Each structure stands twice: as structure tokens, then as C-alpha cells.
Structure 1
């Protein structure tokens, strides 16, 4: 059995002190931890779940069936990209990535189908083939996406600036980016075209950032579209390999990862971090970095008086959307069932906002369904699982549907809760069989997760998966940066930058810059050297 790179938190306080403690083992925390350990710092990660990795982990059921909980694909994983080079460093150059092919997403709107190809020029041509009367709008759109993302790089880097630079140069950088971030995606696209079908196709991947075009910031839309413009990739062995290999690198560098370690408070005295509290155990450190979201950090791990130092007001921004997911196991292989590598985005009509405002557990899959095929994407699946395949089918789920059951125990909630799950499952299977009739008769396992499932495992208070909503207001919040006004307290994770593994990685890198300062160049210089 391979050695684990983490251990269960002991009942006795570890007889160690740390330079830095990181709360939460998601991608932002793992990235920062590895950067700091590479720089010679003494670092520990404390994770409340019994499995580390945050949304990069997966879960297994009978016969070895496995599903991702958050990473369905990534962009920019060709070997020449900067994100790939950072990922290779984190994972010790042990993780391979598989292209999803020339077509990596397929969008269904009503009865119409639109393929999303890898490569900007391929995308441009395909969109013009679909919409020959809107060629100028398509060119303008791609130009706007590029412009927004060029400014976005500077906008996010500014989050690592010291106060003097932030108040001078940073002010200019932020104002230049706000021309893209302060408007919704729909507002921007309506200046280019009145063709709502074209807009719907251009926004067909909006589930990747959790909001329809009428609500999302165009900056978030552009960043996510740009991330996938050259295609989708999937890790060999599935998403758990990201965390497994990163924590191995971290451990080789001397880092410690503890699971079942539920941090109950960040201990602050005279506006300076002293350490963390886990139940009745105090662990001292020089600094604490929270990777569990700004809501959980400011409103649950700090006192009300301490959180004032950070000027955080959750009323100014809402949580991102929640979801429901049907996990499906089948008794035939991907090849036998002709399951695709590409993802399916299925919408009832081209006006997403209207559809999503009227959803219920029984009609949500008909209004919107995202269907992913993890076993088909993974080139190693067939070797280890020669007679099975897996599917994930997701739709929007409202937390308010489940509030009356939130205090009931996991796996033992009342029958009414189970009935909602059954209703959703039946509706989603109906949608699946309509899109992929060959799957009918081969389903051997199903399981439904709800926003309460997300809350149970991630501790996000409203079952959200993308942290704070990617609305225009999000990009104008001054506290969304690594450094807080409490000395020694910093933040990482998708709230600080943007949704997804790449966004969380970026947050970890930015936070490392604020800690290591010019010493960060040594880490970048030595990234290609093996960790032994």
C-alpha cells in the first residue's frame, strides 16, 4: 500500500511549532504550502475533512466506481503554458494530462447543438459557421476577451502589492480592469449583437463560474473562456492525483498535513495572530493562512470585533450558486457505450436567467443539465476498470429547498429529503436517456448529492461550490486579497482570485509573494529541479 502524505490529527497537540499554518487543503492552500516549504519554511496544513485535497478529491463506491467532486476538466495544460509549469512543480512532474480532443464542450439549446473546438482560430471559424450574419460581433467578442484577460493578469497581480504601490499604481490597474468587471456579461455582449442565440452559445460554459450572463461579471466570463480557449484537459488517474502528488511534493519538502483537524478559531491578540485552536488544543505559529473562504474565515473563525479589522461585510456580495449532482455507474465500458470525452451543456432555451429562476427539483434537469464523463476522459480508467464507466449529471440546486433538513444528520435525514433526491434523480435520468439513449438499461449505481452534501464536506454555509458569486460587485471588494489587516493573517483560495483550480493556484502564488517577497524568485528558479 502506498504511503500516505498526511496523517490524522492527534488527540495530543503536536509537539512542534510552525512558521505558517494553513487552514484547508484545497488547491490554494496546497499551492501556497508547497511554495513556502520549497523556500525552507516550516509549514503545516490542517484539514477538517477525512480526505485532503479540497475539491480536487474524489469518492469511491462499490466495484471501484469513482467520481470527481469538483475538477471536471482544466484548460491551459499544454506543456508550454505557465499554469502547466506550476502544476508540474507542485505535482513533482509525476502527473500527466490528457487532451479531451478537438471538441471538448458541446452546447445544446433546445433541439440545436453547437460544438466548442479547441484553439482560438478554430473557435472563431466554428462560431462564424454557426452565425454567418454576426461575424463582426464574433471578432469583437474575441478581441474583448483578450483585452479583459490582459488587464486581468495585472489586476490579480496587484493583489500582492504592498499598500504604497496598491494606493498608487494599483489604483490605476484596478480602474483599467473595472471597465470589464463592472458590467454583466449580458450588458457587454448586447453592445456587440442583439442575437440572443449567439449570446447563449458564447456563454454556454457559464456553469464553470456559476452564473447566467445577466448576473455574471464579464471579467469572470472572459477569464474562464480564455482559460479553456485552447481546449480541455483531464489528469491521468482522475482529479485525486492532483492533491495526492502535490501533498507528496509538500511532504518531501518537510511539510505536514493533518486531516480530521477542524480548526475552531484563529487566535488573535492585539490585532496579531498567535496561532489556531482545534477544540481545546492551541497550536502556535507566526502566521495563519485561511483557505476556507472569506465567509468562514471572518464570520466563523474570528470574533466580531476582530473581523472588523478586515472590513468584511457579506451583505455586499452573495454566495455563489449551489448544485445537485447525480453520480452514475454503468456496467459497460465507455467504448461499448460510445460515451464521449467532451462535456455536454444542455439548456432548455437561450434565455438562461428566465429558465433558472423557475427551477424546482423535478424540472431542474430539463431547464439545465451539465453532463460529464470522467471515465471516458481518463486514459487509465479502462485498465483498472475493464467492465464499467461513470457519468456525472449536474443541475442547479437551491439551498432553500433543503433548509428544514440542514440540522439532520448526514446519511440519516428524513424521508421527505430523500424524496426530493429521488425526484431529481428520475428527472435527470430522463434527460440523460434523451441525450444518450444507449445508457438506458446499463445503470448499476446512482447517488444524488445536494447543497447539504456540499456543506457537510466543504463547510460552505450555503452549499456553494464557487465561494463568493462572480458578480460585478465582487471585483470591487478591497478585502479580496491575500493580506488582511490582522497582522499574520492571510487568505488564499478562489475567493481571492477566481473560480477553479487555476484560480486557486494563482491565489496561492500571490500569497507566497506577499510572504516571501523577493525570495519568490528562488522558488521559480528551482521549479524544474526534482524534489528529493
Structure 2
């Protein structure tokens, strides 16, 4: 990644030429910025990190090893799918995608292996083969997924309604969605079957939204399952191509992305945005779009008076989970090591809630692991990095395990913290060797990240990766929408919609629509024309 895509923040820059300022360069902020730019607006995107992209960026280590930090695969990317049209729109069709193949996820429950195959009919056929006595439950499950997601589409679109419409039609939309959003995944699935193994397998991808079945909203589960039903895809060249190709379009439209720009405050007067403070310097502006998470926006950037005016209350919704990740660099290619494109989800047994919620630092990889193979998914990897491969192996990582070291400097924390990371590495390697014994003896580089690493780079206070937890309560919060009670302040990001790059993109579209109103329909038409 080179700095030709973006500029370093400087107080000498004239920000008066920009119509909108976006705080944070994750996918929600970049999407909103691109939509506004395509409508003729000039947008400045400010990123506190030294690379842009939020959870779409990648990082490198010696000998060219590179790993993505958040985007491991994306669904709904078949030809004519709306999400592909969205990506083509914000990147001018410069971003290429590759299918992960007919199998996109494999779930292990103990020593039992279950494949998730692309396509609804393939899914049905495969699962009925696994659980022939549960055909009725499987078909009912998929029916509920589809019904929940149809109503979910309206639920999220309601977020752009004006207050008068939200209080009338909006209430009906929310009420109809509540039969899915206000029940846990466990409640819905246990009403269909008492087969604990089937429930465990159907919830095998729960790490994609960060909560086990007894705590997660079925609405969140349904959206994620539906998102990947037609298979998984990966950006050609790596996950960072998502943000880089988008930033190229922004630059061409006269907007800019600035790194090393740590916004300290959103300044308001009479409940109206008047500016932001960066490096203890005031920058006047009248429109701010925050992409740094709802909690950070209200608890860190706004005054107490402004926060109270917004009616912000997160007492009943906790931040999402953290994670620990082992990054592995290998001295042979993915082909030589026979590494798959599909992801692997490993659970020691069918008690998913117990394995995840009662995890301990030392035992986490023994009981649960998510394993991804970036180099195998990227057809350009071998050309750029011949004879090498990469793996990412993730497990539960609770912030409290590491909180004693939170105020110590990055890469210079106590030996006890380093030992925790080393112990995790050893335990996770044992899990990898049990599933992929061929990699043993071919490991060249390893590195471990914890929730403290996530906090350092993303500024999420508890090292969470999915913003607010995807509980039923989350779907009842009235302020999770682009427009706030502060004039000139809008919100984007996965908190506003749902987890993941697609959820963040949707939030950007909703935010831009809130600002542009009817003018945004021209942009929707342009996306529709691209699909024809």
C-alpha cells in the first residue's frame, strides 16, 4: 500500500473547500463519501490510523507476507446481485472478485465434518443427507431465514424515513420484524428441532456476527446466513483492494482521504455541528459523518450536553466480542500444501454457547477456532509471493483477559502479556496441526493479535470487532440510524445496520440517501443500469 492513494493530514490544508467531513475510513464512511462525491459534493475523510480502510485494510510483514484484518469473505456477489452492483458503483468496476468455489465453509463439531455448499438447493440437499430425519426442520429453517430477511430489508430502509413517517409506517415495519429480531437464534432453532447437533452446525458460522445462539438475535443470524447462501467471494489482490479502489474513485471526483488525523471532538452549538477539533485545532464545518462507532461518537467525541440531547443510552447493549488471532506465514505455496479456499469453523462439541461464552484464554483454541486461508483465495498471491502461503486462525478473545495491560504501550507490554500470546500461539498451532498436519515444519512467520491490538488500531474501547453486540436489544434502539438529533451530524458503520462489509456499505448508502434525499435516486438508477 503506497501513499499515492491518500495524503497525510496537515493543519495547512484548507478544509473549507469540502462540503462534508467523514470521521473514519471504514467501508461505511468510504461508501457515504463516494455516493456524495458522485452527487457533486467534495468530501474529506479523516483517518486516525496510518493506513485507511478500517477493517478492510491489510498489513504486511517480512518477505511479503500479508494478511487481511477483517474481510475474510463476502457473499451476495453473483452476477446481477445488488451487492456486486454496489461494489462496481463505488469502485467504477475496478475491483475484481473470485469465487471460493462450491464449498465456502466447513464446520467441524468434534470429529464430524459438515460442508456448506453454495446455492440454496445444494444447501438443502447436503443438509438432508447429513440429517435425513430433520428434513422438515431444515426446510422450515430456510423459510424463516427468507421471511426474516425480506422484512429486514424494510427494517433497514426505514432508517431513512422522516420522523412523521417513522412514527406511522415505520412502527408497523418494526413490529413485523420484531417476531424475528426479538427472539434469539436458540429460541427459533429449538422450536424447530431438538437435535442439538443440527442446531450446532446451523450456528457454525456464528462467529461472523460474534454471539452464540442463546444470546444472538435471530435477525442477525438470518442476515448472515442469507448473505452467504449463494457462496463466498474474495477480492482479487487481497482485502485492501476494496478500500484502495474506492479511494481511487474518491480522488478522481475531487474528494480526499487523510491519514494520521485523530479527531478529538465534534463541536456543537445550539445542537448544531459547527466544527471538529483535530490536534487541538478547530476546523470549521457544518456537516460531519461519523464512522467510528456509535459508542465512540457519543461517549468520546460529543459533549455531555449534546449526548443528552440525542437521547443516547447503551445501558442494555454491550459491545460485541473481541478476538485473538494467530497470523501464520508458510514457506510453501497453498497448492503445495493443499490448503483450501473455504474457511473452517471448529467446535470441540455441540455445546456452542458453553464453548464460546465460557471460554478461557488458555483453552480457547482447543474448543473453538475459525481458520481462513487468504493466499489460497487470492489468485494473484502466487505471482506476487511465489512459494509462500498464509493462514489466519482466530478464537474467542475477551477484553478482560488482557485489561491489566491496556495502558502499556503497543509492542512493549509486560512479559506476562507476551507469555499469554505465546501460549495462545502454541495452542492454536496444535489445533492447526490437527486439522492440517501438512503445514508442520513449513512455518516461517507467526504473529498474534489480541483485543488490545484491535483497540490500538481501531480505537474500539473493548477491542470489539463488530461494534455493538447483535442481541435482540440492539434492534430496539431508536438512535441507530444515520440522522441524529444534532443538525449536521450523521452516523454510518456497522452499528447503524449490521455486521460486516456489506452492512457497513448499506449504512453508507442510507446516510447518503438521508443527505441527498430525492437526488440519490439518480445514483440508484446508475447502479441498476450497470446490472443490465
Query: Does the TM-score normalized on the shorter chain lie above 0.5?
Result: yes
- The match for 1:333 is 333
- The match for 2:462 is 462
- The match for 1:286 is 286
Cα deviation, 1:291-332, whole Å, max 9, x if unaligned, reads: 000000000000111101221112121000000000000000
Shift of 1:357: 3.2
Shift of 1:524: 2.4
Shift of 1:412: 0.5
Contact 1:29/1:493 (<8 A) preserved = yes
Structure 2 counterparts to residues 355-504 of structure 1, below 5 A: 355-504=355-504
Shift of 1:105: 0.3
Shift of 1:174: 0.4
TM-score, with length taken from structure 2: 0.98
Q: Secondary structure at the match of 1:337?
A: coil
Shift of 1:336: 0.3
Structure 2 counterparts to residues 141-180 of structure 1, below 5 A: 141-180=141-180
Rounded to whole Å, the distance in 1 between the matches of 2:43 and 2:486 is 20
Question: Are 1:273 and 2:256 matched, yes or no?
Answer: no
Contact 1:159/1:482 (<8 A) preserved = yes
Contact 1:89/1:528 (<8 A) preserved = no
Structure 2 counterparts to residues 28-177 of structure 1, below 5 A: 28-177=28-177
Contact 1:375/1:390 (<8 A) preserved = yes
Rounded to whole Å, the distance in 1 between the matches of 2:195 and 2:351 is 11
Rounded to whole Å, the distance in 1 between the matches of 2:412 and 2:467 is 27
- The match for 2:510 is 510
Contact 1:27/1:501 (<8 A) preserved = yes
Structure 2 counterparts to residues 253-272 of structure 1, below 5 A: 253-272=253-272
Seen in structure 2, the aligned counterparts of structure 1 residues 74 and 188 have a Cα distance that, compared at 3 Å, is: same
Rounded to whole Å, the distance in 2 between the matches of 1:354 and 1:501 is 28
Shift of 1:15: 5.2
TM-score, with length taken from structure 1: 0.98
Contact 1:13/1:283 (<8 A) preserved = no
Contact 1:323/1:396 (<8 A) preserved = yes
Contact 1:95/1:236 (<8 A) preserved = yes
Contact 1:13/1:281 (<8 A) preserved = no
Q: Secondary structure at the match of 1:325?
A: strand
- The match for 2:206 is 206
Q: Secondary structure at the match of 2:309?
A: helix
Rounded to whole Å, the distance in 2 between the matches of 1:17 and 1:383 is 42
Cα deviation, 1:463-487, whole Å, max 9, x if unaligned, reads: 0000000000000110100001111
Contact 1:343/1:371 (<8 A) preserved = yes
* Alignment coverage as a number of residue pairs: 530
Seen in structure 2, the aligned counterparts of structure 1 residues 421 and 2 have a Cα distance that, compared at 3 Å, is: closer
Shift of 1:79: 2.1
Cα RMSD (Å) of the superposition? 1.2
Rounded to whole Å, the distance in 2 between the matches of 1:358 and 1:34 is 42
Contact 2:185/2:213 (<8 A) preserved = yes
Rounded to whole Å, the distance in 2 between the matches of 1:470 and 1:253 is 36
Structure 2 counterparts to residues 170-319 of structure 1, below 5 A: 170-319=170-319
Give structure 1 stretches of 5+ with no counterpart: none
Rounded to whole Å, the distance in 1 between the matches of 2:438 and 2:15 is 58
Cα deviation, 1:338-394, whole Å, max 9, x if unaligned, reads: 000000000011111112233222210011000000000001101111110000000
Q: Secondary structure at the match of 2:324?
A: strand
Rounded to whole Å, the distance in 1 between the matches of 2:3 and 2:49 is 19
Q: Secondary structure at the match of 2:369?
A: strand
Contact 2:405/2:413 (<8 A) preserved = yes
Rounded to whole Å, the distance in 1 between the matches of 2:445 and 2:264 is 37
Rounded to whole Å, the distance in 1 between the matches of 2:216 and 2:60 is 34
Shift of 1:270: 0.5
Cα deviation, 1:178-201, whole Å, max 9, x if unaligned, reads: 000000000011110010110111
Cα deviation, 1:129-161, whole Å, max 9, x if unaligned, reads: 000011000000000000000000000000010
- Identify the range of structure 1 (311-320 vs 160-169) with the bigger mean alpha-carbon deviation: 311-320
Shift of 1:3: 6.6
Rounded to whole Å, the distance in 2 between the matches of 1:12 and 1:280 is 14
Rounded to whole Å, the distance in 1 between the matches of 2:434 and 2:362 is 16
Contact 1:21/1:44 (<8 A) preserved = yes
Q: Secondary structure at the match of 1:336?
A: coil
Contact 2:9/2:261 (<8 A) preserved = yes
Contact 1:18/1:284 (<8 A) preserved = no
Structure 2 counterparts to residues 340-355 of structure 1, below 5 A: 340-355=340-355
- Identify the range of structure 1 (425-434 vs 304-313) with the bigger mean alpha-carbon deviation: 304-313
Shift of 1:282: 1.5
Contact 1:59/1:69 (<8 A) preserved = yes
Rounded to whole Å, the distance in 2 between the matches of 1:479 and 1:98 is 37
Cα deviation, 1:412-453, whole Å, max 9, x if unaligned, reads: 011010000001000000000000000000000000000000
Contact 2:27/2:501 (<8 A) preserved = yes
Shift of 1:13: 4.7
Contact 1:101/1:341 (<8 A) preserved = yes
Give structure 2 stretches of 5+ with no counterpart: none
Rounded to whole Å, the distance in 2 between the matches of 1:417 and 1:181 is 39
